[in-house]
A and B are shown apart, each in its own frame.
Chain A
Amino acid sequence: MYEAPHSTYAVSFDENNQEFSLAGSMRPQHVEELGACLQVLRSSLNVVRGTFYLNVKRLVRLNNIAFHALSSLLLKACEERPELKVSVITSSVVGWSTRKFAVLEEASANIAVEEYDSAFYPGQAFLEEGGFIPILRTQTKMTWRHEKDILPRHGMREGLSIADICCGAGDFAVLLHKQFAPARLVALDHSKSSLDYARQVVADFGVSGIEYVFGDAAEMLLDDNQFDFVTCRHSLQIFNRPERILKELYRICKPGGRIYVTNEKISHCLGEPHKESISWTYEQLARLFDHFGMDLEFGPKSRRYLMDAGLDDIRTDHFMVSSDDGDPRDFADVVKSWKVLFAGDMASRRGDDAQFIERFARGFDDHVFAALHPKGYAGWPIWVASGRKPK
């Protein structure tokens, strides 16, 4: 990693992956100011074979002087070495980036621009399809009954500056806004359809003061040390590299502020009657998610991850969302939707046979039965953990 003194940007070259990365803000007055950066780029281009990757996902600002200097070197290399391919990786969360670098595609057939998008989110495609948003809203309604009392134990109070990262359909942010009157509330997600939904909900209900923003939790544009309280709920478990998300949560949290996460241990879902069938299905569900690079058993691992991220004063809680909370039909509706999504779509995509899927689906049916039975019980356990960013 090269970083010029007082520089507003960082430069690095990963020789193994032939990836040259730029991050930060590059707005020089004179091209000479970029001398060291251009030297690294030049020497990187000299050692690569095949495809050279230029990663500008976190290059937030770039003026034309810097663009011209970078593009001159890339175009010269492509001209001198016709076998060299250059792949420029931009981010959809930096609005100007893809169209700016697309100029290079026009200038050289050896250069391709690829907008990094959903590859990092293996679970998102499943959740965005099939009208899952109403179920996410019901889930938030059920968990909020517990979390509104738990949150103050983790440092939540009125008047904080809060970021809700991976906010989904945005309900948790609305509930936080109503209950804790934050000074500022930014809710970020990588799903434009979820954000559209969230904005519509707050418009319909006349709620103002929540900034719903599009962003990548692993590469956020939010500045360092901004928020007193950073939440990330049910999300570390569906990323295959949760430590990258935690690094970003840590970065945007103020020293002395707290990071709050919730996750599941899905195999501990339970119910009576039919406890064996229910347990079997949720154990299989954990394995199904694991197949797609997601860890629905993450909950009890939260403490370790928060400590490894550099947080101290770790506090943990757990609670059981159950059919005894409010209307048991809400619980049943959620499980019915899980059945459709997991025993239908996901299991099919893994290639499971009909016999397995039938047994897998039956466990969900039994869980619904337990939830709605007047003498039954159905539960869904959630793990809560928070930690403080050292001052």
Chain B
Amino acid sequence: MAAMQQGEASLSDFKSLIEIDLNSGVFGSNWAHCDQISTYVARMVSHNRSDSLLYANLLSSALNELLETVFRMHRRDGSFLCAVKRRGPVDRVEITVSCQAEHLAFYRGVMNVLEGPDVAKRYRETLVAAAAPGPQVGLLELAVDYAAKLSVDEIGDGFLRLTADLALEEQTI
């Protein structure tokens, strides 16, 4: 119980910065939405970081990879919510989308990979392999190149929440 309370307290420590709330079909109607949302959100939340320009560039890159993954692995109906929260140097990105069992299985499969050995090696081999990289590459990149802490949770019936905690401030100084 104490642990749960502590968890709730730390969760509430994250201040909400911005939310993009869309119909899932609207989000999935145009690939450019990934670029547009990541660029816009990154600019809006980076102005008070120690280097706003570098921070926005990094956050946009990381967020875009998350959004491109979700774009490929989402249902065309239901809802899409992209929220960015902040606690000190950490920005938390939460993407909540409608999902089917196969989507959840995909994300859980990637999380298992991230907990295993040689994640960096696996990521780099994927990037230079003859075959085009699959949808998991963006999540591997976030874990390896951006040191993101990733998690996926099933919330309610038919929804999943993909969470990425990013401490990019250290990478811009």
Residues of A within 8 A of B (CB): 8, 25, 27-29, 31, 60-65, 67-68, 71-72, 75, 93-96, 99-100, 103-104, 106-107, 186, 188, 195, 199, 211-215, 221-222
A73 to chain B, nearest CB (A): 12
CB–CB B53/A68 < 8 A? no
Which B residues lie within 8 Å of A75 (CB)? 128
CB–CB B133/A94 < 8 A? no
Interface residue from B64, B127, B168 paired with A68 (Cβ < 8 Å): B127
CB–CB B34/A221 < 8 A? no
Does B52 sit at the interface, judged by CB under 8 A?
yes
With A61-B35, A63-B65, A64-B138 known as contacts, the answer to whether A72 contacts B130 (CB < 8 A) is: yes
Distance, CA A104 to CA B65, complexed state (A) = 20
Contact with A along B62-100 (1 / 0, CB 8 A): 001100100000000000000000000000000000000
Does B13 sit at the interface, judged by CB under 8 A?
no
Name 24 interchain pairs, CB-CB below 8 A, sorted by A: A25-B35, A27-B34, A27-B35, A63-B65, A64-B133, A68-B128, A72-B128, A72-B130, A75-B128, A95-B57, A95-B61, A95-B172, A96-B57, A96-B58, A96-B61, A96-B145, A99-B145, A103-B127, A106-B124, A186-B53, A213-B54, A214-B51, A221-B53, A222-B53
Residues of B within 8 A of A (CB): 31, 34-35, 39, 47, 50-54, 57-58, 60-61, 64-65, 68, 124, 127-128, 130, 132-133, 137-138, 141, 145, 168, 171-172
Interface residue from B54, B68, B172 paired with A63 (Cβ < 8 Å): B68
Distance, CA A212 to CA B68, complexed state (A) = 31
Distance, CA A72 to CA B51, complexed state (A) = 34
* Top 6 A-B residue pairs of the complex, sorted by shortest distance between their CB atoms: A29-B31, A213-B53, A107-B128, A95-B58, A211-B52, A27-B35
Least CB separation from B168: chain A residue? A95
Instruction: Give 12 new A-B contacts, CB below 8 A, not counting A63-B65, A103-B127.
Output: A61-B39, A61-B57, A67-B127, A71-B127, A75-B128, A93-B54, A95-B61, A95-B171, A95-B172, A103-B128, A106-B124, A186-B53
Interface residue from A31, A61, A71, A213 paired with B51 (Cβ < 8 Å): A213
Which B residues lie within 8 Å of A31 (CB)? 132
Distance, CA A8 to CA B53, complexed state (A) = 19
Which A residues lie within 8 Å of B51 (CB)? 195, 212-214
CB–CB B138/A213 < 8 A? no
Q: Count A-B pairs with CB separation below 8 Å.
A: 84
Least CB separation from B59: chain A residue? A95
Which B residues lie within 8 Å of A63 (CB)? 64-65, 68
Least CB separation from B127: chain A residue? A103
CB–CB A199/B50 < 8 A? yes
Interface of A is mostly: mixed
Distance, CA A96 to CA B171, complexed state (A) = 9
Which A residues lie within 8 Å of B68 (CB)? 27, 63-64
A209 to chain B, nearest CB (A): 9
With A25-B35, A100-B145 known as contacts, the answer to whether A94 contacts B127 (CB < 8 A) is: no
Distance, CA A69 to CA B53, complexed state (A) = 27
With A211-B52, A214-B54 known as contacts, the answer to whether A61 contacts B61 (CB < 8 A) is: yes
Interface of B is mostly: helix
Least CB separation from A64: chain B residue? B137
With A68-B132, A68-B133, A72-B130 known as contacts, the answer to whether A60 contacts B57 (CB < 8 A) is: yes
Which B residues lie within 8 Å of A222 (CB)? 53
Distance, CA A103 to CA B128, complexed state (A) = 8
Distance, CA A106 to CA B125, complexed state (A) = 10
Distance, CA A65 to CA B134, complexed state (A) = 9
Distance, CA A195 to CA B53, complexed state (A) = 13
A7 to chain B, nearest CB (A): 12
Which B residues lie within 8 Å of A212 (CB)? 50-51
Which A residues lie within 8 Å of B171 (CB)? 95
Least CB separation from B58: chain A residue? A95
With A64-B138, A107-B128 known as contacts, the answer to whether A214 contacts B133 (CB < 8 A) is: no
A124 to chain B, nearest CB (A): 18
B67 to chain A, nearest CB (A): 10
A109 to chain B, nearest CB (A): 13
B162 to chain A, nearest CB (A): 17
CB–CB B54/A103 < 8 A? no
Which B residues lie within 8 Å of A213 (CB)? 51-54
Distance, CA A221 to CA B149, complexed state (A) = 28
With A31-B132, A93-B54 known as contacts, the answer to whether A64 contacts B61 (CB < 8 A) is: no
CB–CB B127/A95 < 8 A? no
Which B residues lie within 8 Å of A221 (CB)? 53, 57
Least CB separation from A203: chain B residue? B50
Which interface residue of A28, A64, A199 has the most chain B CB atoms within 10 A? A64
Least CB separation from B134: chain A residue? A64
A193 to chain B, nearest CB (A): 12
